[in-house]
Amino acid sequence: MDIKTGDTVKVVLEDLSVLEGILLPEKDNHLILKLKSGYNQGIDKAKVKQMTLVASAKEEQSAQQADQNTDLPKIAILHTGGTVASKVDYDTGGVSAKFSPDELLSLFPELRNMVQIESELIGNMMSENLRFAHYNRIASLIKEKIESGIRGVIITHGTDTLHYTAAALSFMLEHLPIPVMLVGAQRSSDRPSSDAAVNIVNAAHFITHSAYAGVAICMHENENDDSCVILPGVKTRKLHSSRRDAFKAVNAKPLAKVNFRGGESPLVPLPEKQEEFMLKPFREDIKVGIIRVHPNMSADELHYDGFDGLIIEGTGLGHMPIEVFDESTKEHTAIFNRLKSLTEKIPVVMTTQTIFGRVDMNVYAAGRKLIEAGVIGNYGDIPTDTAFIKLAWLLSNFSKEEVKSLFERNLRGEITERTENDFDTV
C-alpha cells in the first residue's frame, strides 16, 4: 500500500503500543507523526513493527477568489502571525499561515453567511518580534480600510504580546469610528481543541451586531467552546500561558459577552459626539525601559542613559528600596540618588507588580519621597504593559513636560476612577 506524507496512519511499535496521526516528512531516520492532540512525535523507524493507512490526505485546493455574498457587511482581516489563522503544513511538519479570503472561509466556514472578507498579510511572525514600526504599519492600514468604507477590522495576532498591540492601537487611533478587534488562539486551528474558530467568528459577529467603535480583544470567556468576551484594549492582560481563557480585564469589566451560536451581542453605545478620526503614530526610535523592583536591588540596575522614559514596576502600592535602616541597606541611598538623577532627565513612571489595585505613593513616607523625587503615575491603575505603551506613545507625540501631565490623565479608559472591590482570576 502506497503511504505518503499527509496521510493519516496507524503505527504499531515493537512493544505493541499504537499511535495514530498524520504522517509528516521523515527526519534523521525517524517517522514524524502529528497526533490528534496537535503535537508532533518522532518515532525511531527501527522500532516500527507495522504501519497501516487510515485515511488518504486530501488534495490541497489552489487558492482562488472566494465566492462571497455581496449583500453582507464587509470586514477586513489583517494577519500579523500567530496560530489563529493557520493549518498543518506537511512540508515542514508545523503550521502555516492562511490568510486569503478563500483559505479563511475554508478554515472558518461560519463566516460565509455572516460577512464579506477582504484580507491582507502584514507579516507572519511570533508576536514578541513586533516593534513600534509594526504598530505604525498596522495603524496605517486600518486608516486605509476606514477610508474605503469598511464595517470593521479583525487583526489576527500571536497571543503573547497581543495586549501590547491592543494598547498601542488604542492610543494611536484617536476617535476611531469602527470596531477593531484583536483575535488570537492559544491552540492552532489544526488541533481538535483549537479556540481559533470561536474567537474569530465571535469577533465578526460582534462587529456586525453592535454599535461599538474602538479597539478591543475578543478571546474565550472560559474553557468551554461557546462564548467569548470583548475586553478593553488598554485594560487587559494575558494571565495564563496556555488556557483558552487566558485573557482577563484588569481593574475593569468585559465590554460584552458574545456567542454567535445563539443570542445577539449586546449593543455598546457610541459616544454622543463623534469627533474627527486621527492617527498619531509612534516614533520608532523611542526607547522606554521597564524595571521590576525586587529584594537586594542595586543602583547599577537603574542605568538608563540614552533612554527616553522608564517604567518602574514597584511593590505593593508603588514602592522601591530607598530607605536606609542599617549597614546592609546603605545601597538604598545610591538607588534613590540614581533615581532622582533619572527623573531630572526623563519621565519615570511607577506601576505596581500586583495584577489588581492601584498605585498610591501617599500612604507611606517612602512613597511620598518618590513623589518628591519626581516619580509620576500616582493613583493610576494602569497595567505595566499598558503603561509602557502609553509612555512611549506620549513621548512620540508630545513634549516631556506635556508627557508628565498627560500620563496621569485618563485618555482611552486606561485609568479607572474607582477600583472595583471584586476581581476575576483565571
Q: Encode pLDDT of 247-263 as tens digits.
A: 999 999 999 999 888 76
Q: What is the pLDDT of residue 2?
A: 84
The pLDDT of residue 24 is above 70 = yes
Of 11-20, 133-142, 410-419, the range with the highest mean pLDDT is: 133-142
- What pLDDT digit, counting tens, does each position of 104-124 carry? 777 778 888 899 999 888 887
| CA gap 98, 34 in Å, rounded | 19
| 399 shares a domain with 264 | no
Q: What is the pLDDT of residue 3?
A: 87
| 293 shares a domain with 275 | no
Q: What is the pLDDT of residue 81?
A: 76
Residue of 143 and 123 predicted with greater confidence: 143
Q: What is the pLDDT of residue 124?
A: 79
Residue of 28 and 203 predicted with greater confidence: 203
| 194 assigned to some structural domain | yes
| 212 shares a domain with 361 | no
| 271 shares a domain with 204 | yes
- Mean pLDDT computed over every residue of the chain: 87
Q: What is the pLDDT of residue 92?
A: 47
- What pLDDT digit, counting tens, does each position of 163-212 carry? 999 999 999 999 999 999 999 888 665 554 567 788 999 999 999 998 89
CATH of the domain at 33: 2.30.30.520
Residue of 293 and 81 predicted with greater confidence: 293
Quote the number of domains for the chain: 3
| 275 shares a domain with 292 | no
Mean pLDDT for the stretch of residues 216-230: 88
| 423 assigned to some structural domain | no
| CA gap 426, 410 in Å, rounded | 27
Backbone angles phi, psi at 116, to 5 degrees: -90, 145
Q: What is the pLDDT of residue 62?
A: 40
Q: What is the pLDDT of residue 39?
A: 60
| 240 shares a domain with 124 | yes
| 226 assigned to some structural domain | yes
| CA gap 279, 282 in Å, rounded | 10
Of 1-10, 55-64, 95-104, the range with the highest mean pLDDT is: 1-10
CATH of the domain at 390: 3.40.50.40
| 65 assigned to some structural domain | no
- What pLDDT digit, counting tens, does each position of 332-379 carry? 999 999 999 999 999 999 999 999 999 999 999 999 999 999 999 999
The pLDDT of residue 227 is above 80 = yes
The pLDDT of residue 77 is above 80 = yes
| Least confidently predicted of 143-147, 211-215, 308-312, 416-420 | 416-420
Q: What is the pLDDT of residue 61?
A: 43
| CA gap 50, 403 in Å, rounded | 68
| 315 shares a domain with 255 | no
Q: What is the pLDDT of residue 422?
A: 52
Q: Which of 279, 298, 317 is the last residue of a domain?
A: 279
| CA gap 367, 378 in Å, rounded | 9
The pLDDT of residue 391 is above 70 = yes
Backbone angles phi, psi at 370, to 5 degrees: -65, -40
| 392 shares a domain with 332 | yes
Q: What is the pLDDT of residue 195?
A: 77
Res. 4 pLDDT band, cuts 50 70 90: confident
| 79 shares a domain with 136 | yes
The pLDDT of residue 35 is above 90 = no
The strand pair at 116-121 and 228-232 is best described as: unpaired
Mean pLDDT for the stretch of residues 410-415: 95
Q: What is the pLDDT of residue 394?
A: 98
- What pLDDT digit, counting tens, does each position of 282-332 carry? 999 999 999 999 999 999 999 999 999 999 999 999 999 999 999 999 999
Report whether 256 contacts 186 (CB < 8 A).
no
Res. 426 pLDDT band, cuts 50 70 90: very low
| 31 shares a domain with 89 | no
Res. 64 pLDDT band, cuts 50 70 90: very low
Query: What is the 3-class SS of the chain, one letter each residue?
Result: CCCCCCCEEEEEECCCCEEEEEEEEEECCEEEEEECCCCEEEEEHHHEEEEEEEECCCCCCCCCCCCCCCCCCEEEEEECCCCCCEEEECCCCEEEECCCHHHHHHHCHHHHHCCEEEEEECCCCCHHHCCHHHHHHHHHHHHHHHHCCCCEEEEECCCCCHHHHHHHHHHHEECCCCEEEEECCCCCCCCCCCCHHHHHHHHHHHHHHCCCCEEEEEEECCCCCCCEEEEECCCEEECCCCCCCCEEECCCCCCEEECCCCCCCCCCCCCCCCCCCEECCCCCCCCEEEEECCCCCCHHHHCCCCCCEEEEEEECCCECCCCCCCHHHCHHHHHHHHHHHHHCCCCEEEEECCCCCCCCCCCCHHHHHHHHCCCECCCCCCCHHHHHHHHHHHHHHCCHHHHHHHCCCCCCCCCCCCCCCCCCCC
The strand pair at 228-232 and 236-238 is best described as: unpaired
Cell of 406: 498627560
Mean pLDDT for the stretch of residues 16-32: 85
Report whether 84 contacts 30 (CB < 8 A).
no
| CA gap 287, 52 in Å, rounded | 57
Report whether 280 contacts 393 (CB < 8 A).
yes
| 208 shares a domain with 151 | yes
The pLDDT of residue 90 is above 70 = no
| 69 assigned to some structural domain | no
The pLDDT of residue 60 is above 50 = no
Structural domain range at position 47: 8-55
The pLDDT of residue 85 is above 60 = no
Q: Kindly list the catalytic residues.
A: 83, 159-160, 238
| 220 shares a domain with 193 | yes
The strand pair at 86-89 and 173-174 is best described as: unpaired
Q: What is the pLDDT of residue 27?
A: 75
Q: What is the pLDDT of residue 34?
A: 77
Residue position matching grid coordinates 488541533: 191
Report whether 370 contacts 318 (CB < 8 A).
yes
